[in-house]
């Protein structure tokens, strides 16, 4: 009898109880989720997929159906990580009821462990509404990419008077019942101060090493994104590797070095001898 290994998937509850720094990366496809899953506590199906996968110039045009399709792929490709799926722009800001319908659709159709939504004080009522109805919510404060036009671009948030507001946002998100909060692109001392004040885990991106965890967009850290934000550290050079592989493939096709008899079925021996 074969022994089946039972892998227990992280839940928002087990994530909140983790002592060690929390490891989160974005994932958008099943094969990538399979590769990242053994190393990550959480996989985020971020609406950054609009820019990373679909080449959009912001996340604003990402739809609920896109999030569901990619959420399903990432859940299928992973076993251990807690999968969190972003609520896309326009699917939750109107009312807590609209947010519940969107979040429930994501949870039911993907099997994700929770949803993430952008916003602080102004979203507190919505977060509470979802949490009270059984939907684990991760907050997202600091730079909110869905508000890129209101922010005046993708920039560092928290200078001057803004710092007080970001802190109020963090406290409101915690108070509303979020199990964790992403802090994006803020001044380091502000993210550090928020992390000290909150009891839920903070996940930083362009934030602070003091955060309880870190997240990066996977294509950025793999070196695929042409011009990643300055807070990204690249851990591989896959962009260059892919270009090199494509160049070698093109050369092999153009010189008829590929395919060879090895890659063909029933190739006559005299032709196999002719061809490399």
Residues at the site binding ligand KIV, with contacts judged by CB under 6 A: 26, 44, 46-48, 86, 140, 182, 184, 205, 215, 217
Q: How far is the CB of 1 from ligand KIV (least distance, A)?
A: 42
Give which of 185, 182, 188 is closest to 155, Cα–Cα. Answer: 185
Q: How many CB atoms lie within 10 A of CB 18?
A: 15
CB nearer to ligand KIV: give 151 or 275.
Answer: 151
266 preceded by a cis bond (ω within 30 of 0):
no
Distance CA 214, CA 184 (A): 10
Q: How far is the CB of 221 from ligand KIV (least distance, A)?
A: 11
CB nearer to ligand KIV: give 72 or 214.
Answer: 214
Q: How far is the CB of 139 from ligand KIV (least distance, A)?
A: 11
CB nearer to ligand KIV: give 187 or 203.
Answer: 203
CB nearer to ligand KIV: give 62 or 167.
Answer: 62
Give which of 220, 161, 160, 209 is closest to 183, Cα–Cα. Answer: 209
CB nearer to ligand KIV: give 3 or 230.
Answer: 230
Q: How far is the CB of 40 from ligand KIV (least distance, A)?
A: 13
Query: Using an 8 Å Cβ cutoff, are 228 and 216 in contact?
Result: no
Q: How far is the CB of 23 from ligand KIV (least distance, A)?
A: 13
Residue 79: phi and psi, rounded to 5, are: -125, -35
CB proximity list for 89: less than 8 A, separation 6 or greater: 47, 59, 60, 61, 62, 146
Distance CA 273, CA 152 (A): 64
- Give the active site residues: 184
Distance CA 233, CA 216 (A): 9
**SS3 assignment, position 137:** strand
- The most distant pair of C-alpha atoms in the chain lies apart, rounded to whole Å, by 79
């Amino acid at each position: 009898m074969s022994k089946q290994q039972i892998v227990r998937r992280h839940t928002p509850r087990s994530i909140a109880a983790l002592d060690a720094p929390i490891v989160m990366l974005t994932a958008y496809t099943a094969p990538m989720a399979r590769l990242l899953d053994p190393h990550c506590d959480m996989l985020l199906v971020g609406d950054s997929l609009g820019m990373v996968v679909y080449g959009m110039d912001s996340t604003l045009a990402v739809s609920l159906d896109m999030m569901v399709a990619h959420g399903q792929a990432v859940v299928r490709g992973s076993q251990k990580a807690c999968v969190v799926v972003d609520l896309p722009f326009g699917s939750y800001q109107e009312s807590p009821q609209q947010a519940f319908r969107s979040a429930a659709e994501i949870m039911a159709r993907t099997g994700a462990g929770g949803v993430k939504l952008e916003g602080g004080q102004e979203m507190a009522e919505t977060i509470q509404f979802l949490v009270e109805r059984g939907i684990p919510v991760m907050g997202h404060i600091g730079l909110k990419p869905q508000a890129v036009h209101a922010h005046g671009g993708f920039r560092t948030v928290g200078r001057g008077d803004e710092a007080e507001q970001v802190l109020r946002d963090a406290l409101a998100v915690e108070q509303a019942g979020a199990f964790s909060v992403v802090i994006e692109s803020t001044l380091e001392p502000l993210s550090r101060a928020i992390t000290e004040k909150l009891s839920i885990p903070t996940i930083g991106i362009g934030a602070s090493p003091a955060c309880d965890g870190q997240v990066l967009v996977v294509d950025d850290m793999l070196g695929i994104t042409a011009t990643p934000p300055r807070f990204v550290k690249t851990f591989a050079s896959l962009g260059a590797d892919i270009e090199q592989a494509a160049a070698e493939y093109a050369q092999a096709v153009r010189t008829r070095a590929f395919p060879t008899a090895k890659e063909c079925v029933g190739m006559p021996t005299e032709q196999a001898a002719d061809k490399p």
